[in-house]
Amino acid sequence: MSDHEDTLQEGYFTSTVRAAVNWGRKYSLFQYPFVTACCGMEYMSVNSGHFDISRFGAEVPRFSPRQSDLLWVVGTINHKNAPTLKRVYEQMCDPKWVISFGVCASSGGFYDNYAAVPGIDHIIPVDVYIPGCPPRPEQIMDGLMLLMDKVQKGPLMIR
Ligand code: SF4
């Protein structure tokens, strides 16, 4: 739906408030890094000064899910730590978003075995999938910008 159609459907006041609130949301993402494996190296890299993720307002990690609204799932998830991931997601307040970082988190990657979860979307909803083993920092920032676009176009009230 275009911005113009949004405005007609919601009304001018509501669509303007929604755009302003979502603009604030997309530039103040508080990330919770759920890091389990080697993709963590690229996660640390993209959080370094060289790539300057703070220009997106997403540089501050929170190590409490209750203070976070963006869950980065970084690395392989196995059946043993899957309940912990689900619990962390459930403890985050709405609105909240999930980025699946790398092929292991997205599909199990080459760990096609009894221990690995074949994609975190078997456990929790995912907003953006970032491919790669590991993904390059440029891919990660591209995934982050995709999420920011989704946040901007999202609803005002999240149930
Ligand atoms: S996608 Fe590759 S780099 Fe990332 S956790 Fe899996 S094996 Fe490691």
Does residue 1 have a pLDDT over 90? Answer: no
Confidence of residue 48 (pLDDT cuts 50, 70, 90): confident
Residues 6+ apart with CB under 8 A from 139: 130, 131, 132
Regarding the beta carbon of 37 and ligand 1, being less than 6 Å apart is answered yes
Q: What is the pLDDT of residues 69-126, one digit of tens each?
A: 999 999 999 999 999 999 999 999 999 999 999 999 999 988 889 999 999 999 999 9
Our mutation pick for probing the ligand 1 site, out of 104, 110, 117, counting the most ligand atoms within 8 A of Cβ, is 104
Per-residue model confidence as pLDDT tens digits over 125-158: 999 999 999 999 999 999 999 999 999 998 877 6
159 pLDDT higher than 60 = no
Q: In 3-state terms, what secondary structure has residue 49?
A: coil
Which parts of 41-147 are beta strand (E)?
A: 70-74, 97-101, 128-130
Fold of 30-147: Rossmann fold (3.40.50)
**From the CB of 102, is ligand 1 less than 6 Å away?**
yes
Distance 103 CA to ligand 1 centre (A): 7
Q: Is the CB of 104 under 6 A from ligand 1?
A: yes
